[in-house]
């Protein structure tokens, strides 16, 4: 659960640091992504890990559309960056309520759940829960993320874009 909160905080920091948009509806986008993964798993049997390959491009296009239709006009019409930050926060509050109510209409109010990664696996004489098997890849992915900003040209570009306006 702490990892989800960390990802939300990184998303807030990245949005505000690069675009100066304090998007209060950021959590609702995460909620809709979780509901989309749940729907793909329960209706189509697609693993939530593979549903990222479907949901990420789809929600990227939605996020780009929302930026172009909501935040870009606000940026143009605002007299100063401070006014834009205030206006964008108010607009994101409105977007928050729209997304919450659309999710309520589409998925309803009852709590949803599924049993993905809930069954143990047998390794030699021991039992391991399914999520622990997936953590074996974390050290390698962590090392690659640490070296990406320093060793790869695209990583150096990402460092420059996050350093401020």
Q: How confident is the model at residue 142 (pLDDT cuts 50, 70, 90)?
A: low
What average pLDDT does this structure show over 37-45?
90
What average pLDDT does this structure show over 131-135?
54
The pair of structure tokens assigned to 82 is 């401070």
Closest among 132, 153, 155, 157 to 145, alpha carbons compared: 155
Question: For 58-84, what is each residue's pLDDT tens digit?
Answer: 999 998 999 899 989 998 998 998 898
CB 95 within 8 A of CB 70: yes
Q: How confident is the model at residue 148 (pLDDT cuts 50, 70, 90)?
A: low
For tokens 């939605």, name the residue. Answer: 62
Q: What is the number of other CB atoms lying within 10 angstroms of the CB of residue 46?
A: 16
Closest among 48, 53, 33 to 115, alpha carbons compared: 48
Closest among 22, 3, 2 to 90, alpha carbons compared: 22
The C-alpha atoms of residue 12 and residue 90 are separated, in whole angstroms, by 16
- SS3 (DSSP) at 46: coil
- Average confidence score pLDDT of the chain: 78
Entry pTM: 0.67
pLDDT value at 113 more than 80:
no
Please give the residue that has the higher pLDDT: either 92 or 21: 92
Please give the residue that has the higher pLDDT: either 123 or 40: 40
Q: What is the pLDDT of residue 30?
A: 87
pLDDT value at 146 more than 80:
no
CA atoms within 13 A on the CB side of 62: 14
| Angle of helix 2-19 versus helix 26-44 axis, rounded to 10 | 130
In SS3 terms, 113-163 reads as CCCCCCCEEEECCEEEEHHHHHHHHHHHHHHHHHHHHHHCHHHHHHHHHCC
Q: Which of 6-10, 79-83, 150-154, 158-162 has the lowest mean pLDDT?
A: 158-162
């Amino acid at each position: 659960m702490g990892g989800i909160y960390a990802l939300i905080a990184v998303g807030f920091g990245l949005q505000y640091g690069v675009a100066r948009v304090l998007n209060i509806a950021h959590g609702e986008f995460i909620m809709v992504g979780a509901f989309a993964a749940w729907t793909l798993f329960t209706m189509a049997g697609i693993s939530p890990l593979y549903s990222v390959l479907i949901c990420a491009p789809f929600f990227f296009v939605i996020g780009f559309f929302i930026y172009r239709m909501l935040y870009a006009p606000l940026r143009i019409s605002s007299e100063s960056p401070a006014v834009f930050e205030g206006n964008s926060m108010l607009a994101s509050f409105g977007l928050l309520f729209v997304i919450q109510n659309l999710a309520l209409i589409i998925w309803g109010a009852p709590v949803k759940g599924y049993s993905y990664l809930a069954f143990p696996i047998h390794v030699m004489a021991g039992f391991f829960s399914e999520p622990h098997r997936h953590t074996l890849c974390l050290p390698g992915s962590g090392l690659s993320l640490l070296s990406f900003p320093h060793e790869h040209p695209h990583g150096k570009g990402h460092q420059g874009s996050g350093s401020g306006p």
